[in-house]
Structure 1
Amino acid sequence: MITGVPGTSGDGGAGAAGAGPIRLARPDVGADELAAISEVLESGQLTMGPWVETFEEALARAVGTAHAVAVSSGTAALHLAMLALGIGEGDEVIVPAYTFPATANAVELCRGRAVLVDVDPETFLVRPELVAEAVTPRTRAVLAVHLFGRPVEWEELQTAVPQDVPLVEDAAGALGARYRETACGALGLMACLSFHPRKIVTTGEGGAVTTDESELAASIRRLRHHGIAGGTPADIPSPGLNYRLADVLCALGVPQLERLESLLAARERVAGWYEERLAHIVGAPGVSEGDRHGWQAYVVTLDRRDEALAGLRAEGIEAQIGTYAVSALTAYRHRGSFPGADRAYARALALPFAGTMTEDEVDRVATALVRYA
């Protein structure tokens, strides 16, 4: 089995005597992925070839939508979704105050305004009642983040906004997750996914937009390819971007989509090992009854987070903060008070997590962590 390592900010280290470093994430890739990539290389068509469509069709089946459009990153997916909705000057889009900054950046890059709304510091998810309070006549959309793979309380969120305000999923870490009986990625008007190496399915870098709306899918396909519309001669009705995803990268993702269920089952097993060891020691992640967690990451909460982070890294265990309180970043300061996001930002710790982890590795992480609980 070949295991790759994404870039992380963990500084690694020699670890305990006789023990190697434990990485923050390890993609589960092997012979099938190598064979698919080899086929693309032998064809000589590394981009704009048949593997993109194959990947998109497999993704649409996995999510349960009519369309999936592959793009160069999860951030590109968010940006194109906002462009497809026509977000522009003076438009407001509601965004959780605790999320990876790409969620807010995509709105601001369209010259809209990301309206931050606080989250529950235990679930990390946006609070629907606060979303309702944030809606104004300028609200054009809500970006709902299934953070770390935990589904948003979708029905509550739907009732929090007027029917003419579209809900768009930031499902970057939620491929395979389900809200009740519906897959994350098929709940909103559109959904944006990521295939970064920390995700359950990876293409190295990559993303996608899923939707049931043919016109939105067609718009995103044009926008990812410079705005070029089909026909003879080809035309560009409005400018677009180069957000295409290469065939060689799509080939990496196709075999993983085919075994999505087994990849998620492996992560569920590792999450269960962590749960057994940590549930009564730190704040452990969970999921609402009837939902299925996507387990993009295993993020716990504890008061001595910074000490734990430094201590784990000193032992050769890569760990990382959960994600960002957006309002703490210079670009988004002075946008209100968000105590839930601030608390999550100060206490959340992402532990090493991958379907390829062994129980011994989980033991080592848990043993190191309990010193700081």
Structure 2
Amino acid sequence: MRLNVPLLDDQELAAVGEVLASGYLTQGARTARFEREIAEVAGTTHAQAVSSATTGLHLALVGLGIQPGDEVVIPGFSFPATANAVIQQGATPVFVDIQRSTFNLDPGLLESAITERTRAVMPVHAFGLCADMDPIVAIADRHGLPVIEDAACALGGLYHGRGAGSLATAGVFSFHPRKIITTAEGGMITTDDDALAERIAVLRAHGAVRGELFMEFVEAGFNYRLSDVHAAIGSAQMRKLPMILHGRRTRAAELTERLAGLDGVHAPVAPEGIEHTYQSYVVRLDDDIDRDAVIRAMRAKDVETTLGTYGMHLQPYFRARFDIADDALPETTRAHHQALTLPLYPQLTDDDLDTIVDALRDSVATSRREAA
């Protein structure tokens, strides 16, 4: 049983076929349509398609003027692309610990991480659950800092009625096959800032502005565009978005119900007013359970699982460069070792859910004996 299976059918095949038949494959009318569809869901004025969420984060940083030597505050617990985008711009990521219950950046620790070199804050909506954005934005505003939502997993997520991607200066979504919808590879930057949107539009296309007869190059830009082939897949996926979100939330609730009472396993939570997308269903295991042994045991039962995501300070590159002690980010360190991602997608059946829970129950019991 796989972690995730994208919901694809003849609609995506037909959409790609139409693009191929048109002979216009690069960024064009279908990309523009896809952008409008994402902007509507996010609730923003602008949505600009890019080649991935990673390039989207990088473009947002460039567009906001982040320079070498600047600092950008991020949570310690995320896929390394969050930090990589900062480093690619020559800036320094400053890691802040997370809340145990949500896996998101702890707003109570944000203020102390801000220095005279801080130029932006970039919270992550872990696994599709919006970070607690109101206090994060309030703190950033007091310091005159822009906020970029790493909303890679959170398309369709809501924070007190507002869409993920609309909660700060800019937001960035991912359309990797494990995300809410997929374009195979791709991303989107959302914002209500007209000037930022205009600059990103130039930067993502080689720094070019199209004139009457030809282009003029006004920036040292990038080739971060999304093709119409990918965008056509995205638009077909967007027609399924309500069904996908409903299916994920329904299956997550059913899985949580089945996990109730399973000793040592803590199901994901969504604070009041925040609607989770459940891009990933991530449980936390008690410290006396060997999480890696659980992954191996589940694999032996033909159920794919993995870690939640990465304590970035524990990865070789970041460890060597920043030398952050484990106890400096205690909740991030714990989550790296004890968070477990279980299969979740709308196509799962009731029998599949029972199989997941039965396999997890047996694997946890075995791992406890091995750890003792």
1:283 paired with 2:269, answer no
Distance 2:156 2:143 in 1: 27
Report the counterpart of residue 178 of structure 1 in structure 2.
158
Tell me the C-alpha RMSD between the 2 structures.
1.2
Map 1:43-62 → 2, pairs under 5 A? 43-62=22-41
What corresponds to 1:325 in structure 2?
311
Report whether the alignment pairs 1:192 with 2:172.
Answer: yes
Residue deviations 1:237-286 (CA, integer Å, cap 9, x gap): 22111111111111111022123222100101110121111133211001
Q: Deviations over 1:277-332 (max 9, x none)?
A: 11332110010111100111001111331111001111111111111001011222
Alpha carbons 1:79, 1:109 under 8 Å: kept = yes
Tell me the SS of whatever aligns to 2:275: coil
Q: Secondary structure at the match of 1:145?
A: coil
TM-score normalised per structure 1? 0.92
CA distance in 2, matches of 1:189, 1:219: 14
1:316 and 2:275 are equivalent in the alignment: no
Give 2:114's aligned residue.
Answer: 135
| Structure 1 or 2: more helix by fraction | 2
- Please say which of residues 204-213 and 227-236 is displaced more in the overlay: 227-236
The one-letter code matched in structure 2 to 1:76 is T
- TM (normalized to structure 2)? 0.92
The yes-or-no answer on 1:345 pairing with 2:336 is yes
- Partners of 2:143 and 2:192 lie apart in 1 by 17
Name the CA distance, whole Å, in 1 between partners of 2:230 and 2:24. 12
In the alignment of these two chains, the number of paired residues is 352
**Partner of 1:212 in structure 2?**
192
2:327 aligned with 1:335 = no
Provide structure 1 residue ranges, at least 5 long, that are not aligned to the other structure: 1-21
Kindly report which structure 2 residues correspond to 1:298-317, keeping only aligned pairs within 5 A, or say none.
298-302=281-285, 303-317=289-303
Comparing 224-233 with 276-285, greater Cα deviation is found at 224-233
Give, in whole Å, the separation in 2 of the partners of 1:335 and 1:86.
Answer: 27
Would you say the 8 A contact 2:101–2:269 is kept in 1?
no
User: Which of the residues 147, 152, 157 maps onto 1:167?
Assistant: 147
Contact 2:137/2:168 (8 A) holds in 1? no
**1:65–1:210: 8 Å Cα contact kept in structure 2?**
yes
Tell me, in whole angstroms, the C-alpha distance in 2 between the residues paired with 1:335 and 1:231.
50
Q: Secondary structure in 2 aligned to 1:94?
A: strand
Q: Give the drift of 1:122.
A: 2.7
Q: Does 1:226 align with 2:206?
A: yes
Alignment partner of 1:112 is 2:98: no
Distance in 2 (CA, whole Å) between partners of 1:48 and 1:196 is: 18
Q: Does the CA contact (< 8 Å) of 1:122 and 1:344 recur in 2?
A: no
Say which SS state the counterpart of residue 229 (structure 1) adopts.
strand
Q: Secondary structure at the match of 1:144?
A: coil
Once residues 31 and 68 of structure 2 are traced to their aligned partners in structure 1, the CA distance between those partners, rounded to angstroms, is 33
Moved more, 356-365 or 153-162: 153-162
CA distances 1:8-40 after superposition (whole Å, capped 9, x unpaired): xxxxxxxxxxxxxx1111001112222211111
Equivalent residues in 2 for 1:119-158, closer than 5 Å = 119-158=98-137
2:75 paired with 1:92 = no
Q: CA offsets, 1:89-124, max 9 Å, x none?
A: 111000100001000110110000000111123311
Cα deviation code 1:157-203 (max 9, x no counterpart): 12333251111100000001100110111001000100001111110
| Alignment check: 8 A CA contact 2:128 2:278 kept | yes
Query: Any conservation in 2 of the 1:116–1:335 contact (CA below 8 Å)?
Result: no
The 4+ residue runs of structure 1 with deviation greater than 3 A are: none
Report the CA distance between 1:137 and its aligned residue.
1.3
Counterparts of 2:267 and 2:28 in 1: how far apart (Å)?
44
**What is residue 267 of structure 1 aligned with on the other side?**
248
Unaligned stretches of 5+ residues in structure 2: 366-372
Q: Which amino acid aligns with 2:353?
A: V
